[in-house]
Structure 1
Amino acid sequence: MKLFSILLFIAYISVGEIHAQSALRTKQFNLEDGVAIQGFDPVTYFTQNKAIKGNKQFAAKYEGVVYYFATATNKDLFVKDPKKYEPQYGGWCAYAMGATNEKVEIDPETFKILNGKLYLFYHSWTNNTLLKWNKDETNLKTKADKNWQAIYH
């Protein structure tokens, strides 16, 4: 009976931690109406090297964050390994995270895959932060990683 009580307590604590993690993610991630990447499919960045709008018919939720997918196959790929496909820095602009430690909106069609990870960037007709990132990528990535850790953890 004592072992059962201990296991039950551990399960209760674990559920609480999972809920807290989900709440933190929904607070800190770049979400539009609760959906990540403005509804773009995170898998197509890797499989087709382009941004394709997802469909809410193919939605999946991972630790409180909702993603849309262009196909059921992409949804299945994501569900099997969500950490592989999730954007870095909660989907905020990678350049801004490194350069100014700010959470800045992104243009889902401005992205880079680096070492198997998805980085998203702000892009307006006068300002493409991906170009700025490319000029000092190593330094900006180091700073962005550090800044995101401070924000997210």
Structure 2
Amino acid sequence: MNRFTLTLAAAATALSLAGQAFAGEQYVDGTGFAVSGYDVVAYFDLNQNPVGTAQPAAVPGKADITADYNGATFAFSTEANRDRFLANPAQYAPQYDGHCAYGVSKGGKVPGNPNLWRIVDGKLYLNITKNVVGFWEEDIPGNITLAEGNWTSIEPTPGSDRPIPDFSSSAPVK
């Protein structure tokens, strides 16, 4: 290999490792599970409601059907969903490590509520409260753009340790 090829290989490896370094730990609440123990794969099988209306309830996972990813344990309602997740966890894990997408668009990390969700362009986004969902939905593409720009600078900060307001999880079920 010549010097130019080695330099390109080293640069590609550095970029690959840098991309991995941007993934912080998943938000985990008092349940001990990512996304409060709800099945992240199941969101992709639910029919989304139009902007301005509530989404269907999240599907609880089971404590005995789990997989680890991004520093957290995810629970699933079925083994088939766990297997789909394991085949491509980044496809199903919520954006911004499970933190509120609108909060990230404003430059902060607050918990994401698993019952306040939306899938946009094949990615799962969570928000913290119903009021915040209204702000998020006023300009979803613009808020995603802001959040993407903010994420690289706020991602290294510790994740939120606050509970999700007005939320008590029924997941995972046994």
TM > 0.5 fold call: yes
SS in 2 for 1:35: coil
**Which of 14, 34, 37 is matched with 1:39 structurally?**
37
Is the Cα–Cα contact under 8 Å of residues 25 and 65 in structure 1 kept in the other structure?
no
**TM-score, normalised with respect to structure 1:** 0.75
Question: In the comparison of the two structures, how many residue pairs are matched?
Answer: 128
What's the counterpart of residue 69 of structure 1?
Answer: 76
**TM-score, normalised with respect to structure 2:** 0.66
**Which of 132, 139, 143 is matched with 1:140 structurally?**
143
Unaligned runs of 5+ in 2: 1-16, 48-55, 157-174
**Which of 117, 122, 130 is matched with 2:123 structurally?**
117
d(CA) in 2 for partners of 1:133, 1:63 = 25
1:38 deviation in Å? Answer: 0.7
Unaligned runs of 5+ in 1: 1-16
d(CA) in 2 for partners of 1:73, 1:25 = 26
Bigger fraction of residues in strand:
1
What's the counterpart of residue 7 of structure 2?
Answer: none
What's the counterpart of residue 91 of structure 1?
Answer: 98
What's the counterpart of residue 107 of structure 1?
Answer: 113
d(CA) in 2 for partners of 1:150, 1:25 = 12
SS in 2 for 1:138: helix
Q: 1:56 to 1:150 in 2, by over 3 A?
A: same
Q: Give per-residue Cα distances to partners, 1:86-119, cap 9 Å, x unaligned.
A: 1001100101110x21111222111000000000
What's the counterpart of residue 154 of structure 2?
Answer: 151
SS in 2 for 1:67: strand
SS in 2 for 1:31: coil
* Counterpart check, 1:53 vs 2:60: yes
What's the counterpart of residue 87 of structure 2?
Answer: 80
d(CA) in 1 for partners of 2:81, 2:107 = 32
1:122 deviation in Å? Answer: 1.0
d(CA) in 1 for partners of 2:73, 2:84 = 15
1:152 deviation in Å? Answer: 2.7
Is the Cα–Cα contact under 8 Å of residues 116 and 133 in structure 2 kept in the other structure?
yes
* Counterpart check, 1:128 vs 2:126: no
Name whichever of 131-140 and 107-116 sits farther off. 131-140
Q: Percent identity between the aligned chains? A: 35
Task: Let me know the Cα RMSD of the aligned residues.
Answer: 2.2
Bigger fraction of residues in helix:
1
